[in-house]
Amino acid sequence: MLIKKPSDIKPSEITPESVYKNRREFMLDGSKLLLGAAATSALPSVANAQNGDSLKARAPAAMRRSPPAAWWANKFQDIKPAPDSEPFFTGESLTPYEDVTIYNNFYEFGMDKSDPATRSGEFKTDPWSVEITGEVSKPGTYHLEDILKPVDLEERIYRLRCVEAWSMVIPWIGFPLADLIRQFEPTSKAKFVEFETIIDADTMPGIRSRTAIVSWPYREGLRMDEAMNPLTFMAVGLYGSYLPSQNGAPMRLVVPWKYGFKSIKSIVKINFRETQPNTTWNDLQANEYGFYANVNPAVHHPRWRQDMERRLPQTLFSRRVIETRLFNGYGEHVAHMYDDMDLAQYY
């Protein structure tokens, strides 16, 4: 995979520090922005909202999508802000909205980092449903609105570390995966949770590509204790508003102590299993992509060292390289799940 540098970001476009020093006020403002967006055709950028600017005039076509249904706006009116301390908040500088939404891996839209933003303009996320199967008391196909109705949305500011050795800091909006799992009452046989991404060849050009290396649908999985960990998050938004298509709309997984490919996007199926599921990258190249995919600076990928990372944004003249921490810095909250495991073997 070719690593390309993100678009140059002007200093004026970077989210002001003051915006997140008082996040409670920001989240209230973000709700107002979302409600305003429901009456227009463009998603406002928090980074530019203070200037009254919109991404519509300068964003790729994929970011000019119509806002979701009205119930989305209602759901976003009351979002619990992130606390002021770890693990649900990091004091590190946020990655600008433009980088978060334009520099992505989402191979259903193409192999290039810019493909998800430029080629997802026709992707439809409403209506949306999720199939629940396997070892649960309440299997079935559920509308997303019904899944989200009983949960409270909150903000989590997490580090995201890609196995390709770049990283971001993103303010997600969503809810603990554990809250979703409890809705469907897994049985005692449910030891793993398996996820699948939608296959929509009409609106996802990467699926139609003859050079695609992935066998669709994209599949990922977690052990049940990982899925129930308080850090594991189902994101439905970022930067105070709903998820853009290129970031995994309308609902994606976020597992901050694992490499980014574990955080599967645009989920349409959740299967509760007694046995460990096959996953896309592990099936494709098991010696490069383990099932667990915990961030580990001591275990290197054949093509990318994992002890250092490039924190985005970066330009030709400004590059920030930092040390990678075990479990992406979340070890205090997750290391106990792997006490009896050799992390070099179970990578």
Domain residues for the domain of 273 are 11-337
On whether residue 82 sits in a domain, the answer given is yes
On whether residue 346 sits in a domain, the answer given is no
pLDDT of residue 314: 87
On whether residue 342 sits in a domain, the answer given is no
Helix (H) or strand (E) run with residue 197 in it: strand 192-197
Backbone angles phi, psi at 225, to 5 degrees: -65, -35
Quickly count: other Cβ atoms within 10 Å of residue 6's Cβ: 21
Query: How confident is the model over 280-284, as a mean pLDDT?
Result: 95
Which residue type does 296 have? N
108 marked as binding residue: yes
On whether residue 237 sits in a domain, the answer given is yes
On whether residue 5 sits in a domain, the answer given is no
On whether residue 235 sits in a domain, the answer given is yes
- Does position 306 have pLDDT exceeding 60, yes or no? yes
pLDDT of residue 45: 32
- Does position 172 have pLDDT exceeding 60, yes or no? yes
Structurally, the chain folds into a number of domains equal to 1
15 marked as binding residue: no
Specify the range with the lowest mean pLDDT, choosing from 5-9, 255-259, 293-297.
Answer: 5-9
pLDDT tens by residue, 250-265? 999 999 999 999 999 9
Query: How confident is the model over 313-341, as a mean pLDDT?
Result: 94
122 marked as binding residue: no
Neighbouring residues of 245: CB distance < 8 A, sequence distance ≥ 6: 62, 65, 116, 120, 121, 123, 125
On whether residue 61 sits in a domain, the answer given is yes
pLDDT of residue 67: 55
- Does position 2 have pLDDT exceeding 70, yes or no? no
CA distance 306 to 41: 41
Which residue type does 286 have? A
CA distance 247 to 237: 9
Query: How confident is the model over 34-52, as a mean pLDDT?
Result: 32
Backbone angles phi, psi at 242, to 5 degrees: -75, 160
Provide, rounded to the nearest whole percent, the portion of the chain with pLDDT above 70. 80
- Does position 170 have pLDDT exceeding 70, yes or no? yes
Quickly count: other Cβ atoms within 10 Å of residue 79's Cβ: 24
264 marked as binding residue: yes
Contacts 24+ apart (CB under 8 A), 145-151: 145/69, 145/71, 147/180, 147/183, 147/251, 148/75, 148/175, 148/236, 150/179, 150/183, 151/175, 151/179, 151/180
Q: Give me the CATH number covering residue 305.
A: 3.90.420.10
pLDDT of residue 70: 82
Left if phi > 0, otherwise alpha if psi is -120 to 50, otherwise beta: which for 139?
Answer: beta
Query: How confident is the model over 288-294, as a mean pLDDT?
Result: 96
On whether residue 4 sits in a domain, the answer given is no
pLDDT tens by residue, 107-141? 999 999 999 999 999 999 999 999 999 999 999 99
pLDDT tens by residue, 18-35? 444 344 444 434 444 433
pLDDT of residue 84: 87
191 marked as binding residue: no
305 marked as binding residue: no
Backbone angles phi, psi at 279, to 5 degrees: -130, 155
142 marked as binding residue: no
CA distance 203 to 128: 15
Say what the pTM is.
0.82
Q: Residue 318 — pLDDT band, cuts 50, 70, 90? A: confident
198 marked as binding residue: no
What integer best gives the mean pLDDT of the chain? 84
Do residues 258 and 293 touch, judged by C-beta distance below 8 A?
A: yes
Q: Residue 319 — pLDDT band, cuts 50, 70, 90? A: confident
